[in-house]
Structure 1
């Protein structure tokens, strides 16, 4: 008997926007996927770090969360990404 269980197995059409941008402190390459799977939140993938988060506008405005989830050490870099996400989610 197998102990693993599939929790969900869905297929859907999604839209992904790829954006590369530079700010005063850093460069980011980001993929933003729009899907119905996460209850209105978007899947945000920062290509440089390989880190992904499920986010909405409120999450993007939370600087501490953005810095933690994307492993950003510099507050100025985190603020740039936070502002970009707030404008683009």
Structure 2
């Protein structure tokens, strides 16, 4: 352990939301961890693939980012996720938290 410099070691009680839903073509199962860490961006985890990313409302405007983050085959799938996460992701962005 002498080779490592600890950057952080935080304990936090967080809210977690588990949600499953379907679109016309795909089933989704996500865990959303609402935390004060990571500039208060929720950690979104695809329960089917284990892929995860931090998301804020600005990230949801970038459909290609969602497609890449969750390795989705179709742009339409990422657009569906963007629409869903707009309701599930809090509205306060990093810049607004420190004004």
Aligned residues: 89
Structure 2 residue runs without a partner (length 5+): 90-99
Provide the residue aligned with 2:30 in structure 1. Answer: 30
Aligned residue in 1 for 2:8: 8
Query: Higher strand share goes to which structure?
Result: 1
RMSD: 1.3
* TM-score normalised according to structure 2 size: 0.84
Alignment of 1:1-89 (within 5 A): 2-89=2-89
| Ranges in structure 1 where 5+ consecutive residues have no aligned partner | none
Q: Secondary structure at the match of 1:4?
A: coil
Q: Which ranges of 4 or more aligned residues in structure 1 deviate by more than 4 Å?
A: none
Q: Secondary structure at the match of 2:73?
A: coil
